[in-house]
Amino acid sequence: MIEPRTLAQRLADARVAELVTAIVATLRPLFPDVDVRELPGRIDISDIIAGTVFAPPMIGVTFSRVRQPIHVGGSYDLPVELVAYIVTEEMAIGGRAERREALAHAIGCGLFEILADLDMPRWGLTSIRLPEEAEMRPLVTSESYAKGVAYYALTWRQVLLGMGTDPLARSPYSGVEAVEDGVVVEYPADLSGAPV
């Protein structure tokens, strides 16, 4: 049975928000010269073009969708679809001009390397599966190209395990009743008054 819980209690179990925060905290030291930020949701390319979100180079992390497959016992795992937005512009690195696409590919390959690691993509959390189905796509518009911005989205899915109620914590069932020939019969039979 579901018990009432305060908002503070529900916040303590807000594992999706905890996941995004943990990803950002892990990526920041691994990309010291890139602005790594947590985003409140999907961003629009027009915000990037206008320069109102973040200055390139940057990685913005958020989730795009959460699903809920429910198990028989009342517990469930939570597949979370995550997005790392990569924004770059042409810049000089080591005295050499680098194209925006090359910089975006370099950041994306760095993210793929992290996602392929056995420990790093658990982000310091427990009860989480390794990343699945990672892919990177360019999101190009003529306006973003004219402004000199490269905009990519790297997506992957991770599953948060063991959400909901613990089926082993429930009290075991004591029996069921059935009607046989018009008489209510309890199964298993009540043997409390029977001699031992």
Distance CA 112, CA 106 (A): 10
Predicted confidence (pLDDT) at residue 167 exceeds the cutoff of 70: no
pLDDT in tens, 99-126: 889 999 999 999 999 999 988 889 998 8
Q: How much is the pLDDT for 158?
A: 94
Distance CA 61, CA 131 (A): 15
Q: Phi/psi zone of residue 6: left (φ > 0), alpha (ψ -120 to 50 degrees), beta?
A: beta
Nearest to 156 by CA among 115, 105, 110, 114: 115
Mean pLDDT over each residue of the chain, to the nearest integer: 81
The highest-confidence range among 22-26, 99-103, 126-130, 148-152, by mean pLDDT, is: 22-26
Exposure string of 37-55, with b = 16+ CB inside 10 Å and e = fewer, is bebeeebebeebbeeebbe
Quick one: the chain helix, strand, coil %, rounded to 5? Answer: 30, 35, 35
Catalogue all structural domains in the chain, each as residue range(s) with its CATH number: 7-187 (3.30.2000.10)
Distance CA 117, CA 177 (A): 54
Q: How much is the pLDDT for 25?
A: 96
Least confident of 17-21, 38-42, 155-159: 38-42
pLDDT in tens, 36-61: 999 877 776 666 666 666 678 999 99
Q: Which two tokens stand for residue 103?
A: 């910089």
